[in-house]
Structure 1
Amino acid sequence: MSAKSEKRPATAAVVMLFVTLALAASGCEGGDGSAPPTGTRTPSPSTPSVPPAHVLAVKIDNVAPARPPTGLENADIVYVERVEAGLSRILAAYSSQLPPVVGPVRSARESDLELLRQFGRPTLAFSGAQSKLLPVIAAAPVKALPPGKAPKGAYFRGGDRAAPHNLYLRPKRAVPDVPGVNAATYAGFSFGPEPAGGKPTATYGVRYPAARFAFTWSAQRRQWLVTMDGTPSRTSAGRPLGAPTVVVQYVRVRPSKFRDRGGNTTPYTETVGSGTAIVLRDSKAYKAAWKRPTATSGTTFTTAGGTRLAFAPGQVWIVYAAR
């Protein structure tokens, strides 16, 4: 069965306690004649209470043979991190809705565990891990969901590409009870109108040792369109891949004690602490400071004056870059 053959689900019912600000952005027609997919519900700043978190995090392959991804446009948050040999991998967080299929699914890393602590006890879908890391994952406060522990039919191999880049997840068979709350609610992000200031910016780039990203503002789609390794990114349906807000978060990336099969040391991305960031939204780049005091805390982004920096409604990309 091919991932492309799966049918898209009907739009999920809107949770009354939350304002679906993302729907306003979907009224802008894209350059290809289609409305840009919002795919998420944006938290309301006036929400009096928030249901307990139940986030599904999926580790997604991001090398050239694994592209285009399936279901990534429906994630609430897309985290991009560096892995062995200077390549990149994606951790996508789903909580407001579940697409029919996500993938291709690949292996987990140690730094995923620290990153996910902010979501309570999330489900982590992954295809495996370095053997010495498996006991660490088992002891972590996550619900580990590799294929061997998943319900029947939750994973399948697609026929559109070669292994190992063809393992896909049917999220609704794995985690049917997500709360309908944007994962950004638990991550500590703030959403609201366009902030004052900012530098008009057309494109912003990030380089890893063996991967590169560019984010280009599209006034038609009201999104930062993603380019990976010099090629414009697309969804599995052929639409441009982009997000209203992209955060380039400068962090410490250090060697971990783990290595891959080729002997390459696995990088560890430190997401607890503080540092600087660039926030891209509404055709501008904003200098920001980030702070995450503990692993169980969310991350706050503030302006030079100490004001919380509001993100645009919709999906958020967090790209971790070495400082």
Structure 2
Amino acid sequence: MRPLSVLVAATLTAASLAACGGGDDSKSATPQADPSTPFTPSASDEEVAEPDTWPLTGLPVADGDSSVEKHPILVTKIDNTTSSAPQVGLSKADLVVEELVEGGLTRLAVFFYSQVPDNAGPVRSMRASDIGIVPHDDATVITSGAARVTINRIQGAKIPFIQEGGAGTYRDTSRSAPYNLFAHLTATAKSIKQPEVRPADYLPWGDGSDLPQGKKASSFAVQFSGGHTTEWSYDGDGYKNTNSNAGADDQFPADTVLTLQVKVGDAGYLDPAGNHVPETQFVGDGQAWLFHGGRVVRATWHKDALSSILELEFKGKRLTVPAGHVWMELVPAGPGNVTWQK
């Protein structure tokens, strides 16, 4: 296996402009960024050497599997409240990032690449925090839309996106709005031009052989606010989100849960419901907890600037993430917001 690269992460600033209850899904009054040039294979495309690992999991590509996908990474913004139940498509995701939004609730940025489900959702709006979550050169965001100021920031970061009305999006009439927007991601993927090169590795992948032993942790909880805590348990094979909004047969298969404690400030404006909009400050230093194999390794993360590479460190040495499916928690810093039991 060749050496693995690390994705250069950009800014992570959570600037949400709309109430999670539904006012945040209005489409921009101006046209969206258009990433959807139809893909047409060429001789040079067919000659691209196939990578040996998947960029979002670090796992080896099976013989005969096509690792040069005909689409970029698809980052789908999915609601994470009880109103979204059942969420659709998480079992096919490579990686998930959970982020804070208004009202102390959370939203998911769900990454699809090695597998693309026919259906995913409910699709909700983008946040400026996605600028630091989405790999700019390798991904397209599927979203219901966003407020104008968020659109401006996403376009300024040159992140392409497809919003309601774009390829593959549809409303499920059996559900209530705004929790009824979904995407046929197979159709969406076919509409987007293939990246020229393999996407960079999203995390500093390792094989787990150098992972510190850590402490036993059979269950743990990540508290985002007084109104939302994400709960996990280890079943001997991987981690189950015990208060997930996904269907029982559509759960994300988490091998690792990487929790990063981040500072959250005020974005300086109000959402349509009059709530202050939080802004995640993903720069500097913070505590990190890597849950893997029923144990937890307490470490630190560091970024020199918003656009710097995310680094993990344990006792002065670089820490890698065991290859597999990872759920990342970007939790506000605070005492006692990450707890576990043996």
What residue in structure 1 maps to residue 287 of structure 2? Answer: 276
Provide Cα deviations, 1:72-110, integer angstroms capped at 9, x if missing partner. Answer: 222222010111011111111222231111111001111
Matched to 1:226, the amino acid is: N
Which of 162, 184, 204 matches 2:220? 204
How far apart are the structure 2 equivalents of 1:78 and 1:258?
28
Contact 1:97 1:178 in 2 (8 A): no
What residue in structure 1 maps to residue 123 of structure 2? Answer: 105
What residue in structure 2 maps to residue 189 of structure 1? Answer: 204
Structure 1 residues 114, 305: closer, same or farther in 2, change over 3 A? closer
Structure 1 residues 266, 164: closer, same or farther in 2, change over 3 A? same
Which of 152, 162, 175 matches 1:145? 162
Paired residue secondary structure (1:187): coil
What residue in structure 2 maps to residue 26 of structure 1? Answer: none
Structure 1 residues 267, 107: closer, same or farther in 2, change over 3 A? same
How far apart are the structure 1 equivalents of 2:103 and 2:148?
19
What residue in structure 2 maps to residue 72 of structure 1? Answer: 90
Structure 1 residues 187, 292: closer, same or farther in 2, change over 3 A? farther
What residue in structure 2 maps to residue 32 of structure 1? Answer: none
How far apart are the structure 1 equivalents of 2:198 and 2:265?
30
What residue in structure 2 maps to residue 227 of structure 1? Answer: 242
What residue in structure 1 maps to residue 80 of structure 2? Answer: 62
- After superposing the two structures, state which structure 1 stretch, 77-86 or 154-163, moved more: 154-163
Contact 1:187 1:299 in 2 (8 A): no
What residue in structure 2 maps to residue 37 of structure 1? Answer: none
How far apart are the structure 2 equivalents of 1:178 and 1:72?
23
Provide Cα deviations, 1:275-311, integer angstroms capped at 9, x if missing partner. Answer: 2100000000001111234444442322223132332
1:121 deviates by: 5.0
Provide Cα deviations, 1:129-149, integer angstroms capped at 9, x if missing partner. Answer: 12332222232211121124x
1:159 deviates by: 3.6
1:288 to 2:299 alignment: yes
Paired residue secondary structure (1:99): coil
Contact 1:133 1:258 in 2 (8 A): no
Which of 49, 52, 56 matches 1:18? 52
1:163 deviates by: 1.1
1:256 deviates by: 1.0
Which of 171, 184, 197 matches 2:185? 171
Provide the aligned length of Structure 1 versus Structure 2.
274
Contact 1:60 1:90 in 2 (8 A): yes
Matched to 1:164, the amino acid is: P
What residue in structure 2 maps to residue 303 of structure 1? Answer: 314
How far apart are the structure 2 equivalents of 1:54 and 1:294?
26
What residue in structure 1 maps to residue 99 of structure 2? Answer: 81
1:253 deviates by: 1.1
Which of 171, 196, 208 matches 1:157? 171
Question: Which structure 1 residue ranges, 5 or more long, are not aligned?
Answer: 1-14, 21-39, 45-49
Paired residue secondary structure (2:186): helix
Give me the TM-score of the superposition, normalised by structure 2.
Answer: 0.71
- After superposing the two structures, state which structure 1 stretch, 244-253 or 107-116, moved more: 107-116
Structure with greater contact order relative to length (CA < 8 Å, sep ≥ 6) = 2
How far apart are the structure 2 equivalents of 1:122 and 1:265?
29
Provide Cα deviations, 1:168-227, integer angstroms capped at 9, x if missing partner. Answer: 111222233667x997x53232131252321011111111222111111011xx111102
Moved over 6 A (4+): 50-53
